[in-house]
Amino acid sequence: MLEVEYEITGELNVFVGHEGTKFSYGDKPLGEETFIWSNGLLSEHGIDDHDIDIIQWDDLPAFFQAPERSDVPFDIFAASFYLITRYEEYFPQVKDDLGRYSPYESIAYKYDFLREPLIDLWIKKFSQVVLKQDFKSLSRKRTPKRTVAIEVATFNKYRKRGLIVNATLFSRHVRNLRLNRAWKQIKTLLNLREDPYDNSDDILVPIKKIRFDRSRDRKNRADMVFFFHLGNYNDFNTGVTYKSKSYVEAIKHIADYVKVGLRFSSNTSSDDVYQEEKRFEELVKRPLQHTMAANSKISMPGHYKLLVDTKTMEDYSMGYVAEPGFRASTSLPFYFYDLDYEVQTPLLIHPYCLHYNTMALQTRSGQQSILKEIQEVVDNVHGNFIVQFHYEHFDRDIKSHALEILESIIDE
């Protein structure tokens, strides 16, 4: 994560003879060298339950405390490994209503560091205290990004949704006395007004401005990815069918300006994943690189193992829909490590730190406040600021600040 060259050795004479920055890592120091204590987790085979007792490393929470001498008062490598591999998610857990791992089960939430990219903060302190190097000079080697990730479960609210879906929506509007919405639905179906979800061009405006900006730095820092649903129609997936010519044309149009990826169906099986991957590549005429699980529903490690098997390269599902913060305690991309097989995979995970769902009901100022809080934390560690939206957040028929928030992220 520091992007510095390093070498690991078990040879004492090589270690002693090295004249640059060095430290030992184990259960006891070799002599008077810089020493980091190991609690043994990284040399274990299999998954075991570990007690988590929180201590303080100056102003930062930490765990796996060192019992005796150590230049860092805890096993920073084991603790980082525990968090970034989502070790705790391999154990039995209470799921939320959609069957997802709940943020309220995580040690990050229980010990009040969910809104901190704790691993990044540890690394920053480690570079200064142990490596004796300036973190700013090290972190300049990477280009931090501000990314908007948009999950498209359905591209239209009313049009091309079928009779059953429209009848259900209409009866819901009438039952809830939302007669204005019912009337708008009728006008939409009669082509007397645009569909409320027909707003992709508005969403693309900020990124188009950046593309024409002369500042290369701004272009490199801003990013947007659309994830489209291409699954079969069923009770869980009632979006516009992938067979819709206008839907496919819209995907290709959007792909001219930003990255596009695949949003897997809800409750997808391995057969569905392979089918949807093939469908994406046939329709979009490009290899699948970017994916997202429906509603960020990932179960460790099954979902990611499936993506590794399909040769997917990058995933954007690591985050919480219900709470702002850092599910893997980092703002930086990392490779999925399979704890079952004890191997690092080629699957690159881009963790998001904020989902618009968490603040959709807030006032404009409330939303801006949350955005600023998380943004400042990420900027402090020179990390990536990824915010996720549902496409329906930009519904023209509801009062939403989603587009304004999106613009502030891209234009920053």
Instruction: Please indicate, yes or no, if residue 212 is contained in any of the structural domains.
Output: yes
In a domain, 266, yes or no: yes
Average pLDDT rounded to a whole number, residues 152-175: 88
Is residue 182 domain-shared with residue 268, that is, in the same domain?
no
CATH number at residue 236: 3.20.20.370
Confidence of residue 188 (pLDDT cuts 50, 70, 90): confident
For residues 232 and 134, state if they share a domain.
no
Q: In whole angstroms, give the CA distance from residue 227 to residue 293.
A: 9
Q: Considering only CA atoms, which of 146, 167, 70, 61 is closest in space to residue 111?
A: 61
Q: Are residues 259 and 319 in the same domain?
A: yes
Which pLDDT belongs to residue 138?
A: 53
- State whether 277 and 344 are in the same domain: yes
pLDDT at 158: 85
Q: Which residue has the higher pLDDT, 298 or 234?
A: 298
Residue range 379-389: mean pLDDT, rounded = 95
Pair 273, 177 in one domain: no
Ranking 208-222, 256-270, 386-400 by mean pLDDT, the lowest is 208-222
Question: Residue 217: its pLDDT value, please?
Answer: 62
The pLDDT of residue 241 is: 80
Domain annotation covers residue 2: no
What are 126-163's pLDDT values in tens digits?
A: 988 877 765 555 555 567 899 999 999 999 988 888 78
- For residues 172 and 211, membership in a common domain is answered with no
The mean pLDDT value for 192-213 works out to: 89
Confidence of residue 387 (pLDDT cuts 50, 70, 90): very high
Whether residue 285 is found in the same domain as residue 239: yes
pLDDT of residue 159: 85
Residues 186 and 219 in one domain: no
pLDDT at 134: 59
User: Domains in the chain: how many in total?
Assistant: 3
Position 219 pLDDT exceeds 60 = no
Same domain, yes or no: 353 and 389: yes
pLDDT tens for 109-126 read: 999 999 999 999 999 999
Based on the fold, state whether residues 391 and 249 are members of the same structural domain: yes
> Residues 40, 189: one domain?
no
Say if 302 falls within a structural domain. yes
pLDDT digits (tens, 9 = 90+) for 321-374: 999 999 999 999 999 999 999 999 999 999 999 999 999 989 999 999 999 999
pTM assigned to the model: 0.91
User: For residue 130, what are the domain limits?
Assistant: 12-84+115-139
Q: Check whether 220 has a pLDDT greater than 70.
A: no
Q: What is the 3-state secondary structure (H, E, C) of the chain?
A: CCCCCCCCCCCHHHHHHCCCCCCEEECCCCCCCCEEECCCHHHCCCCCCCCCCCEEECCEEECCECCCCCCCCECHHHHHHHHHCCHHHHCCCCECCCCCECHHHCHHHHCCCCCCCHHHHHHHHHHHHCCCCCHHHHHCCCCCCEEEEEEECCCCCCCCCCHHHHHHHHHHHHHCCCHHHHHHHHHHHCCCCCCCCCCHHHHHHHHHHHHCCCCHHHHHHEEEEEEEECCCCCCCCCCCCCCCHHHHHHHHHHHCCCEEEEECCCCCCHHHHHHHHHHHHHHHCCCCCEEECHHHCCCCCHHHHHHHHCCCCEECCCCCCCCCCCCCCCCCCEEEEECCCCEEEEEEECCCCEEHHHCCCCCHHHHHHHHHHHHHHHHHCCCCEEEEEEHHHHCCCCCCCHHHHHHHHHHC
